[in-house]
A and B are shown apart, each in its own frame.
Chain A
Amino acid sequence: MTPLLKVENLHQHFKISRNFTVKAVNGVSFEIYPGETYGLVGESGSGKTTIGRSIIRLYNPTDGKITFDGKTISGKLDDDTNKFLRKNMQMIFQDPMSSLNPRKKVGEIIGEGLDIHKLYTTAQEKNKIISEILKKVGLSPAHAERYPNQFSGGQRQRVGIARALVMQPKLIIADECISALDVSIQAQVVNLMKDIQDATNCAYLFIAHDLSMVKYISDKIGVLHLGYLVETGTTHEIFNNPIHPYTKSLLSAVPIPNPILEKKRKSLTYDVKNFNYAAGTMHHVGGSHFVLATDEDFKIWN
C-alpha cells in the first residue's frame, strides 16, 4: 500500500527580525496511510500546528517534500492540484474563534465548502447535509441560524469539526480539535471520527496534548520536541516501550483523574540541555519504532 501522505525532511522557519529566526520545524519525516490515524504530540511551541499548516499549504515549506495521494504538494501548486488539495484535505483549527467568520451564520460557514465544490444538487439537500452533520457533532439543526460568537467554546469547536467532516476529505488535520470539549462530548466526537473513518477510509493527523485520548484514537504516534521528531512508532510501541527521555517524561506527566494519587505524584523531569537534537539521527528500535539519537545515546537508552 502507498501512503496517503508522505512528509520528507520538512523544515519550516520564520524570520521574525534580522537576528531572530524561529526554526519551528527541523527535518521532520513521517507517513500516513489511508484509514490510519497518526497522533502528533509534543509540548507547546514544539511545531505541531506549524506542521499541519505547512502540509495544508497555509505556509510555504522552507525545505522538504510533501506528497499527498501521489501528488507533490510542497512546491508551487497548479490550479488543479490546488483544487484537489482544498477538497481532499481539511483542517480543524486550534483556535475556533479566529477561524470562523464572525459575520456569517454557522449554516453558511459549514455550507461554504459544499458550495465551492458543488457537493449537492438542491438547496434542500444542502440543508439536510448541514442539519445531519450538526446533529452528529452534538449540536442541533437550529444552531445553523446562530453566529459564532453566540456559542460556548466547545460548541464553537464543534462547528469547526462539522465544517471539516462535511467535506468527506481523504485527510483531516485535527489540531487540538477536542480540547475544549467535556469528556462525554469528546467521546461522542472521537467515536464519530472513528465511525467516519470506518465508513470512508479517511486518514487523520490528530494533533493533541491529551495523551490518553491520543492513545485511544491513534494507530501511530509521533513525538515532537523543539521542531524535531524525537520518536515515532505504533501506539503500542510508544506507550509500552518509550525510549527517548522526552517521551518518558511526557508519559509520566499525564494527569490522573484521582484526587488522592494526583496530589502526591511527582513527574519525571527532562532537561533539554543534555541533548543535541541536530547531532542525532533516526535509529530503528524495531517494527515501525524509530528514535532520534546519537549513536552513543542510543546504546545507553536501549
Chain B
Amino acid sequence: MNENLILSVENLDITFKTNAGNIHAIRGVDITLPKGKTVAIVGESGSGKSVTMKAVTGLLDSNAVINGGKIFYHYDEKTVDLLTLTKKELRRTINGQHIAMVFQDPMTSLNPTMTIGAQIMEGMLLHQNISESDARDKALELLNLVGIVDDEKRFKNYPHQLSGGMRQRVVIAVALANTPKILICDEPTTALDVTIQAGILSLISDLQARLGISVIYITHDLGVVAKVADFVNVMYAGKIIERGTVDEIFFDPRHPYTWGLLSAMPDLETDDDRLYSIPGSPPNLLHEPIGDAFAARNKFAMKIDEKAAPPMFKISETHFAATWLLHPDAPKVEMPEELRKRIERAKLGSRE
C-alpha cells in the first residue's frame, strides 16, 4: 500500500432498496487521496459522487446496502477500514476531528432551531478541550474567514435568516472548526458568486499549505476543478470511468464521456447560441447495463461495448480510462474536432 495515501476507497459497491426495486448506484469505485493533495470528483448528475462520499463518513441513507469494498483511512501509522466501524464509533472517533464533510444541501446539515454560532461551537466543545469563551472567539474568527461580515450580529442568526450562500459558508465553518485531516466538500461553492467562491477556495488552500489537510472536492464546476485539483476522477453511472492529473484530464481526455463533459462547458470566448449537451440520458440503474454503461450515448461505441464493461486501460502512471476505444485492437478514434480546437486554444492561451 502506498504510504503517501491518506484515504483509499477500494471496489466500493452499494445498492439502494426502493419500492420500485434495487438501484445499483455504486458499482465498484476506487478513489485514492494522497496526503496533502486535492482530488476532484466530477461527473454526471446522479452518477454516485455524493453517495460514495457519504459512505466514507458513514452517513448513507437507511435504505442503502453496502455489498462490498473497503475504505482505508491511514493515520498516525495506523490503517482502519472505515466500513468496519459502527456509526457510533465513526461519530466518536473519526467524523469531525479526522474527516469532515460539507454537504451539498446546506439546509439538511444545519439545525433550523439553533443559532449558527452555537452550531459552529458545538463540534469544538465536543472534541476539543476548550473553554466556552475560547470556542466563541474561534467561531467568530471562522465566520470572518468564510467572509461573513457583521460576525457578532450574524452569530445569533438562525439558518433561515441567512442567504443560500451564507448558509453554505456556515457549513464550511462548521467543517473547519476542528481542523480535520481530510475535508470532503460536496459542491461547496455552488451557491456562491465568483468573488466569494475565490475567497473560500483560497481559504481552503491556505489551510492545506499550513496544516497539510487533504481535500476531496465534488463539483461540476470545471473552472473550480482547474483551479484547485491535483487529480481528477470522472464518474459515470456508478463507476469511475477516467482518472488522471488535472492537466491530463483537461488537455488529454480519453473517455468519450469526458469529451462530452468538456464540450458542454459554456465558453465565454464564443457566442454560440446553443449549448452542447450529451445526447440521450444516463442508464437506469434499476436495470443494470450489461456492457459499457455509456455505450448507448457513445457514437464511437463498438460491438463489445454491448457485451462487456471495459476495464481501466492505462495511459500513463497517473492516467487511466475505462473505454474499449483504448484496447490495442480498437480502431483509432480521435476526440471531436471542436473539442480538439478548444483544447489547442486553451493551451495557446496559457502560454503567454
Contacts and interface: CB of A to CB of B under 8 A. Distances in A.
A276 interface: no
Interface stretch (B4-12, B99-107, B137-145, B300-308): B99-107
B261 interface: yes
A119 interface: no
A278 interface: no
A-B complex: 8 closest residue pairs judged by Cβ atoms: A255-B223, A44-B165, A154-B45, A260-B350, A187-B275, A187-B277, A253-B194, A209-B193
Nearest to B250: A259
Nearest to A154: B45
Interface residues on chain B, size class: 35 or more
Given A183-B222, A254-B223, A213 B261 contact: no
Given A20-B153, A255-B194, A257-B223, 8 more contacts: A95-B167, A150-B18, A151-B46, A187-B264, A191-B277, A209-B197, A211-B268, A262-B227
Contacts of A190: 275
18 contacts: A42-B193, A44-B193, A95-B106, A150-B61, A153-B45, A156-B105, A176-B164, A180-B220, A181-B220, A182-B43, A191-B277, A212-B267, A212-B268, A215-B268, A254-B194, A257-B226, A257-B265, A260-B347
Nearest to B219: A182
Given A49-B164, A152-B50, A255-B227, A179 B350 contact: no
B286 to A, nearest CB: 7
A94 B220 contact: no
Nearest to B149: A45
Contacts of B229: 259
A149 interface: yes
Interface of B: 16, 18-20, 42-46, 49-51, 61, 63, 104-108, 147, 153, 156-157, 161-169, 186-187, 190-198, 220-227, 229, 246-247, 250, 260-262, 264-268, 274-278, 281, 284, 286, 346-347, 349-351
B225 A257 contact: yes
Contacts of B246: 259
Contact of A44 (B191, B220, B267): B191
B196 A43 contact: yes
B224 A255 contact: yes
A44 B166 contact: yes
B195 A249 contact: yes
B46 A44 contact: no
A288 to B, nearest CB: 19
Contacts of B18: 146, 150
A159 to B, nearest CB: 12
Contacts of B16: 150
A270 B195 CA distance: 10
A212 B266 contact: yes
Contacts of B195: 43, 249-250, 253, 267, 270
B14 to A, nearest CB: 13
B227 A155 contact: no
A270 B198 CA distance: 13
A270 to B, nearest CB: 7
B140 to A, nearest CB: 16
Nearest to A42: B193
A90 to B, nearest CB: 18
Contact of B44 (A97, A182, A209): A182
Contact of A179 (B107, B169, B191, B281): B191
A150 B276 CA distance: 28
Contacts of B165: 43-45, 209
Nearest to B200: A44
B275 A182 contact: no
B161 A14 contact: yes
A262 B226 contact: yes
A257 B275 contact: no
A127 interface: no
Nearest to A267: B198
A44 B196 contact: yes
B279 to A, nearest CB: 9
Given A184-B277, A259-B246, A154 B46 contact: yes
A258 interface: yes
A21 to B, nearest CB: 10
Residue picked from A142, A258, A262, most chain B C-beta under 10 Å: A258
Contacts of A257: 222-223, 225-226, 250, 262, 265, 346
A182 to B, nearest CB: 4
A161 to B, nearest CB: 12
Contacts of B225: 257, 259
Interface string A134-173: 0000101010011001111111101000000000000000
Contact of B268 (A17, A41, A254): A254
A253 B198 contact: yes
B286 A142 contact: yes
A250 B20 contact: no
Given A188-B277, A250-B195, A267-B195, A145 B19 contact: yes
A95 to B, nearest CB: 5
